[in-house]
Amino acid sequence: MDTNVRINWLLDFYGAMLTARQRTLMEMHYCDDLSLSEISETLNITRQAVHDALRRGERTLENYEHKLGLVSRYFDIGNKIKNLRNKAEMLKGSAALEEIYSDIAELADRWES
């Protein structure tokens, strides 16, 4: 997974646990796609301060993921649901299997939305 995409996922799951300042800087850089210079000008701080804050924020987010594993579990569960849906699709035919497939398909649709 691309680093920017990964950080965005980590922000989605753990962003509220960052300080307001860290969250703002991380969102400006990773969500709004602003450069370090643009952020430093906007917030009237040095480019180095922005860089350091971003690295600290990244380490903090990665530490939360290492300890809690919510993002990896989210993708694991999503992949398992997708695999179950594919397997159930192949077994369609009997009424019981149709019901199981319907339940899995509904769960997969809810998970993906």
Question: What digits encode the pLDDT tens for the residues 17-40?
Answer: 999 999 999 999 999 999 999 999
pLDDT value, residue 101: 78
pLDDT value, residue 56: 96
pLDDT value, residue 33: 93
What gap in Å lies between CA 105 and CA 99, rounded to an integer?
A: 10
Q: Which residues of 7-18 are buried (b: 16+ CB within 10 A; e: fewer)?
A: bbbbbebbbeeb
**pLDDT exceeds 90 at position 49:** yes
What gap in Å lies between CA 84 and CA 78, rounded to an integer?
A: 10
Interval 77-97: pLDDT, tens: 888 888 887 877 777 777 777
Residue 61 CB neighbour total at 10 angstroms: 24
